[in-house]
Structure 1
Amino acid sequence: MADCKYCGRSAGIFSHAHKECEESHNQGVTILEGAIRSYFKGATPMSEIVRVANHVKQNNYISDKDRAESSSKCIDEWTNTIHWPFHSSHLDKIKEFITNIGVSYQDINGSGALDRLCQKMIRGFMAEYFTGQKPLQRSLQISQQVMRTLPLTVQKEQEAYYEMLGQAGKNFLKDGLMSPSEQQKVDEYIGTLGLSLINLPPSLKGTPIEEMGQASILSDIQAGRTPRYNLQAPIILGRGETAFWCYNNVTMFQEKVRREYVGRTGGFSFRIIKGVTYRTGGFKGHPVETSFMENMGVGSLYVTNKHIIFMGQMRSIKVPYSKIIGINPFSDGMEVQRDGNNVKRLVFQGFDCTFILNVLALIN
């Protein structure tokens, strides 16, 4: 016999809840969430929310877990409705709610609802910096005040800063280039917040943030300057050599030649004694060579001011720009043709090669 998960009395052999208890519980959730939504809309005071929460706990089998989950759900809904510019009233409202709802911060944030609210508010305050409404230090000061009420881990804090940087990048790169004033804003932002445009986590590959980093490097190369951003690369560079970029999870293919002989055999065979045969004539054939691309493994492809360097577990190779006579771009990589006798073609797959083509055009 199973007990009802709501009232604790016997519910029968095949049931874990009485139907009337289940209906009462669902009604209590609806009442509680309706009251919380009304609070965030500004139509119901917090004291009424506390009264409703206590009432459904006593009469509708609403547990602390139910209260936390309903709070989280309604906070997510409120987060989706509020928009920048944010005001102190937004922070005061969520602070009052967390203090009085009767469950812990950790329980309310079990699904990350408070983190998402904090991140959205931080992005809004950082937007005021990029739009010229506030200096960066002021935007950062306000963000720190928000995080005293809605604390974030370092990782989630950086996620918010990076997301705002990506949104700014979309606007800055609409014409393909960043103006000097836009570049100055980006430099101040990443320098102050300890971010990077080139040593990016995998989740930011292929985003406007990566495009901004590449655009900044190309702008410096075109102006004859050493790029302002330093790539931390585990490769040995030559004198005067600078690493610009790294593509991870790149597959290298190298051309290989297979030789085989084709033809026919002529003449006759004569049996001399048991087990011994003599054959006249011979094999008439010719060699045929076929080429194919052999997979040389996955690794990292580095772009410097002098070389393309592939570092893989099975094979590594350094290709000087002076030896490159042609590049065939693909949608997901490129083929490199090199100068020299018996030099085989190379194919690198798993990235957009536009940046490399631009680097070669500027350097050469």
Structure 2
Amino acid sequence: MGTCIYCGKPAGIFRKKHRECAEKRDQGWNEIIRLAKEAAIGTYPLEDVTNRSAAIAANSFLSSNEIREAMVTGWEKAVEHFLEDGNLEPQEEIRLVAFAEHFELTQEDLDKNGAYTQFVKGLVLRDLMEGKIPERFRPIGHLPFNFQRKEKLIWAFNDVKYYEDRTRRRYTGGSRGVSIRIAKGVYYRVGSFRGHPIETTERIHVDTGILAVTTKHLYFYGPRKSFRIRFDKIVSFTPYSDAIGIQRDAATAKPQFFVTGDGWFTYNLLVNLSNLEN
């Protein structure tokens, strides 16, 4: 006879939980998340969340650790709510910070699913749109770049796939032709050329590495390729869902692409920073 993992009472042969207990647990879990989100947004009193969530947990088979997990999930949903319009207002930042401090949630707690990183990204973009140089990003470990004097790091992306568009040429329509003697010892082969050139463009994965954005340059470092590009040498930015494409101001420059995983943020970061520097 199995025992219910929630209420501790017999659950039947080969069963680990009662359906009613599981439903009660899920309802309680979702209710605490809803309360946490509303408190982080500012539509529910922050000081009432602890007692209310404890009462719900007591009736829903939820532990104190699960309450804390629900608080983190509620905070994540609040970040998502605030960023729906692409902006993170100062008052929204204050509410999110106050919620995290009230429940003693660490950066590690809040970034398990990347929500804290999204929160900081919103702050960085707000700084740029207000004409400020962001100083919110802190890299973990040493970056392999030689930044110039008075150059400030704005953001760095790890595991960035770098692609280049390269043109390949092949010939079609050639023939062996015939040889015509022009003078003694000199022959001109008619039709000996390889035909007409046909060019095709292929997007090639060149390397994977770190992409750093500073106040002056775009840096890339990988095992096979390393370079930096001045912002005033970039003539266009092309946004993609998970990447950014750039075109440098050079006659022979080919389009370059960086897959950062967050094309929206990367595009807005580079465009706003470029405009700020100009």
Separation in 2 of the partners of 1:210 and 1:353? 14
Choose from 218, 221, 232 the match for 1:322: 232
Structure with greater Cα Rg:
1
Choose from 95, 105, 109 the match for 1:193: 105
Q: 2:37–2:78: 8 Å Cα contact kept in structure 1?
A: no
SS state at 2:208 partner: strand
Give the CA deviation at 1:143: 8.0
Separation in 1 of the partners of 2:36 and 2:171? 73
Q: 2:243–2:266: 8 Å Cα contact kept in structure 1?
A: no
SS state at 1:239 partner: coil
Cα deviations by residue, 1:191-230 (Å, 9 ceiling, x for unpaired): 6522279x945x43xx6x5543322111112223343522
- Structure 2 residue 135 is the aligned partner of structure 1 residue 218: no
Question: Aligned partner of 1:133: which letter?
Answer: P
- Structure 2 residue 194 is the aligned partner of structure 1 residue 281: no
SS state at 2:193 partner: strand
CA RMSD of aligned residues (A): 4.4
Structure number with greater CO (CA < 8 Å, separation at least 6) is: 2
Give the CA deviation at 1:127: 4.5
Give the CA deviation at 1:305: 2.9
In structure 2, the partner of 1:253 is: 163
Separation in 1 of the partners of 2:218 and 2:68? 31
- Structure 2 residue 24 is the aligned partner of structure 1 residue 78: yes
Give the CA deviation at 1:74: 5.1
Report matched runs for 1:1-364 at 5 Å.
Answer: 53=10, 69-70=16-17, 75-82=21-28, 121=32, 124=35, 127-128=38-39, 130-131=41-42, 133-135=45-47, 150=63, 152=65, 159-190=69-100, 192-195=104-107, 200-201=111-112, 203-204=113-114, 210-227=117-134, 229-232=136-139, 234-235=142-143, 236=145, 237-260=147-170, 263-268=174-179, 280-282=187-189, 283-285=192-194, 288=197, 290=199, 291-349=201-259, 351-363=261-273, 364=275
Structure 2: give runs of 5+ residues left out of the alignment: none
Separation in 2 of the partners of 1:244 and 1:289? 43
Q: TM-score, normalised by structure 1?
A: 0.54
Q: TM-score, normalised by structure 2?
A: 0.67
Distance of aligned partners of 1:167 and 1:284 in 2 relative to their CA distance in 1, 3 Å threshold = closer
Give the CA deviation at 1:169: 1.9
Question: Aligned partner of 1:164: which letter?
Answer: G
Q: 1:123–1:161: 8 Å Cα contact kept in structure 2?
A: no
Q: Number of matched residues?
A: 256
Q: 1:307–1:321: 8 Å Cα contact kept in structure 2?
A: yes
Distance of aligned partners of 1:222 and 1:78 in 2 relative to their CA distance in 1, 3 Å threshold = same
Percent identity, aligned pairs only, is 21
Question: Aligned partner of 2:178: which letter?
Answer: G
Give the CA deviation at 1:151: 5.2
Give the CA deviation at 1:133: 0.9
Give the CA deviation at 1:304: 3.2
